[in-house]
Amino acid sequence: MSLRRAIDEAAAALEVGTSDRSLSEFASIELPATFDPRCLLTGSTATAVVGSYERPDQGFALIGIGEAARIDLAIGETPTAARARVRALFEGTPRDSHSVLRPRLLGGFRFAPDQAPRTPWERFGAGSLVLPRMLFVLEGGVSGVVLAPGTSATEALRLIERVIDEPDGALPARDPLRSARSIDENAWRDNVRAMAIGIREGAYEKAVLATSIELERDGDLPLGETLAQLRADYPDCHVVSFSAGDATLICASPELLISLEGGHACTLGLAASQRRGENPAEDRALGRELLADAKSREEHAVVVREIVERLEDETDGLTVDDEPSVRRFRNIQHLATRIAGDAREGVDILELVERLHPTPAVCGRPRDVARRVIAEHEDFDRGWYAGPVGWLDANGDGEFAVALRAALLRGPRAWLFAGNGIMGDSDPQAELEEVTLKMRPLAEALGGRIPAEASAIPA
């Protein structure tokens, strides 16, 4: 079936004809599987995108256009504070609906919800969940759009027609990135040394030290083209965007925080890193080295232990991989352990997000001590970096990733964020090289490379 014929049949089924009347309840329109909603991230519709969530290797994408409703958390509020307002938005929606074309909210939460936002995160509060006016879905070979109450079906159909009528143009040339603020390398090394001493003295087991750089170019940074590059380069990551005012968070996260579907919860312990090899033999050797490295294994074990401890009271039948595996991405490889179980009655995705965030992979252990250490040694606002980002539905199911390999875009400027887990035997120079490596995915997607003056190692 052609896309235009599908539009005509959808209009007839919804009895919209040429009427612009708004719908009084959620409705959905199935489109031909050939329609890829990710085309909405570029062209004339890009500015209307409020958020997106993709699993490229699974053929899964959610693209939210326009804002039908929004839940904003006040400073100090945590994810479960949104629960009553989420239920109100989904009132009348069947809680047992597992249709691909079902309503969902897109959003995320700050790393530290009790801290007021600072530059460049002024537009992002403690957390936000948005109900899109039009949620375009690609999942399991099904493509379609879910319309929120108050939305005109004709509006959605005209938007689709406009997109398919737009000519395919060449991607615009991207100006090179310039460094507006680079890593303070001396301060980074000093902080690593100080944290490693605290760990060796037994003050805490682990803390995560993050840093930020600023890049700029002439003209606004291209959101759609950047997401397309991340999708192509990191298909096995969670590719996410979320907009607030003139700022947009983007990330290509390798780390699943938690998913919940039909009562089954799944998460991934991901910690300890190693570079990729120049050839398959070197790559395998580096992976074996990562698996055998005592510091890396202990860093990873800290993360897994804490995740298990936090989930034990919320789940039954919790299972943990016997040994970590090596999970490889385009520019880096990590140790990974899968953890899964059945959520207890009444436990929803917001409860699990609140229970798990922040994991030791982005904070440390013990959590409260690590938070104080982070506040002492980091001189910038993490904002939503390292916070949960994802989606949820009326069933209380959903999926949230950790906002890693992340950047905040505002006009011609981008703030890039990355961090490392610090242990008692961490080497300051090695940690500097690793954190720079982690910034490359976003820098390359935005403009080709990290400028030499912003990098600790050759680009």
Catalytic machinery residues: 206, 255
Instruction: Please tell me the distance from the alpha carbon of residue 445 to that of residue 142, in angstroms, as a whole number.
Output: 28
Instruction: Please tell me the distance from the alpha carbon of residue 32 to that of residue 234, in angstroms, as a whole number.
Output: 26
Output DSSP code: residue 394.
T
150 residue type, one letter = G
Please tell me whether residue 378 adopts helix, strand or coil conformation: coil
Count the neighbouring beta carbons within 10 Å of the beta carbon of residue 57.
11
Please tell me whether residue 165 adopts helix, strand or coil conformation: helix
Q: End-to-end CA distance of the chain: give it in Å, rounded.
A: 48
Instruction: Please tell me the distance from the alpha carbon of residue 428 to that of residue 223, in angstroms, as a whole number.
Output: 34
**Structure token digits, residue 241:** 């965007």
Asked whether the beta carbons of 60 and 38 are under 8 A apart, the reply is no
396 phi-psi bin (left φ>0, alpha ψ -120 to 50, beta other) = left
Distances (CA, A) of 108 to 279, 385, 396, 401: 38, 10, 15, 9
Please tell me whether residue 415 adopts helix, strand or coil conformation: strand
